[in-house]
Amino acid sequence: MFTELLPFWTKYWYHVLISIIFCIFFKLFYEVFKKGTIFIENNRHNFNTLNNTVEQLKDINQETLENNEEPVLPINLKHIPYVYKRASEEEIFCRASKFYKIVAARRTIRFFSPDPVPKEVIHEIIKAAGTTPSGAHTEPWTFVVVSNQKVKKQIRRIVENEEEINYKKRMGVKWTTDLLPLRTNWIKEYLTTAPYLILVFKQIYGISPKGKKKIHYYNEMSTCIACGILITAIQYAGLVTLTSTPLNCGPAIRTLLGRPLNEKLLVLLPVGYPAKDATVPDLQRKPLSDILVEID
């Protein structure tokens, strides 16, 4: 075989060489081109993660424009005087200080009493969360309040299954080590003992009365801000909660609760009274000097 090929190599070696060199160059050029694209891609991501969102919004813009969509709010929206009564500086300081004391007493509670809480209280709390500001006043949130014991059990099953995988595989040694002092694991008893579970969904887009897509600007940020007000409302009322973000449980819980595809689970908050023997980790918060920078 080899001897048979010899005349070919001696006669046509430069053809073969040119082919090989061409292939190598082509491959090199392709790699450089690919790396360049990835580099540009990465840089764009690093320097400005918002560009992506803007691009997506532009696409939806185009879509909605083609449908001759109207603005979300009435175009002739009235602007009215803002009624405001200014308090004295002392009064303002007193109120600010009182509010700080109320929220400073808040702790994340993992042990709940099964005692029932009047539904009217939960309504006031959700109403408070509903006053949150949102991008272009789109109010991109849904609060699902579960008190049904069967549904709570199903949610607990979904969360515990996923959390076991999270703790054992997804989160890695560092994360679980960081959580060790808090004594958390994948067993979430509070999901069935707390009288209410509030599941906060962000609406990644809305549906107009005419059935068309409505853009929800900054829907995740707005809904997280609503969570801040929700947590504060719970604390102000004198109830307790735990701010949890069930990793990987979103789609299963969304399906279980029959929520539409435009809604994504952000936060799960059990709400109720603390158990009589509830404990909390002896945590300290950062002093003001660690979180505040003043430029006078």
Within residues 16-45, the interface with a second copy by CB under 8 A covers none
On the CB side of 113, CA atoms within 13 Å amount to: 12
Positions in 230-289 near a second copy (CB under 8 A): 230-233, 236-240, 243, 245, 247-248, 251, 257, 259, 266-267, 273-274, 277-283, 285-286, 288
String of contacts with a second copy for each residue 171-200, x by CB under 8 A: xxxxx-xxxxxxx-----------------
Of 30, 130, 153, 164, the one binding a second copy (CB under 8 A) is: 130
Strand (E) or helix (H) holding 227? helix 219-237
Contact code string over 220-239 relative to a second copy, x by CB under 8 A: xx--xxxxxxxxxx--xxxx
H-helix or E-strand spanning residue 291: helix 288-291
Q: Which of 48, 52, 185, 208 binds a second copy (CB under 8 A)?
A: 48
Give the position of tokens 């918060």: 285
Tokens 């609406």 belong to which residue? 203
**244 DSSP 8-state letter:** B
Please give the radius of gyration of the chain, using alpha carbons only, rounded to the nearest integer: 28
Neighbours of 232 (CB within 10 A): 17
The residue among 135 and 160 lying less far from a second copy, judged by its C-beta, is: 135
The owner of tokens 């009589």 is 276
**Two tokens at 74?**
């009435």
Of 6, 65, 68, 209, which lies in the binding site for a second copy, with binding defined by CB under 8 A?
A: 65
- Which listed range, 24-32, 37-45, 49-57, 186-194, lies at the site for a second copy (CB under 8 A)? 49-57
* Segment 151 to 170, residues that bind a second copy, using CB under 8 A: 151, 170
Q: How far is the CB of 36 from a second copy (least distance, A)?
A: 17
CB nearer to a second copy: pick between 156 and 259: 259
221 close to 82: Cβ distance less than 8 angstroms: no
Question: Of residues 42, 43, 62, 185, which one binds a second copy by CB under 8 A?
Answer: 62
The nearer residue to a second copy, 36 or 62, going by C-beta atoms, is 62
Distance CA 180, CA 165 (A): 16
Query: 173, 242 in Cβ contact below 8 A?
Result: no
Residue (160 or 235) nearer to a second copy, CB: 235
Q: Applying CB under 8 A, which part among 25-33, 36-44, 122-130, 186-194 lies near a second copy?
A: 122-130
Judged by CB under 8 A, which of 24, 32, 40, 54 binds a second copy? 54
Binding mask 77-116 for a second copy (x = CB under 8 A): xxxxxx-x-xx-x-xxx-xxxxxx--xx-xxxx-x-----
| Smallest separation (angstroms) from a second copy to the CB of 42 | 13
In this structure, the strands spanning 263-272 and 196-203 are antiparallel
Q: How many residues bind a second copy (CB under 8 A)?
A: 139
Contact 72, 137 (CB under 8 A): yes
- DSSP code for 68: T
Of 219, 241, 220, 221, which Cα lies nearest the Cα of 230?
Answer: 241
**Rounded CA gap, 201 and 162, in Å?**
19
Please state the closest distance from residue 186 (CB atom) to a second copy, in A. 15
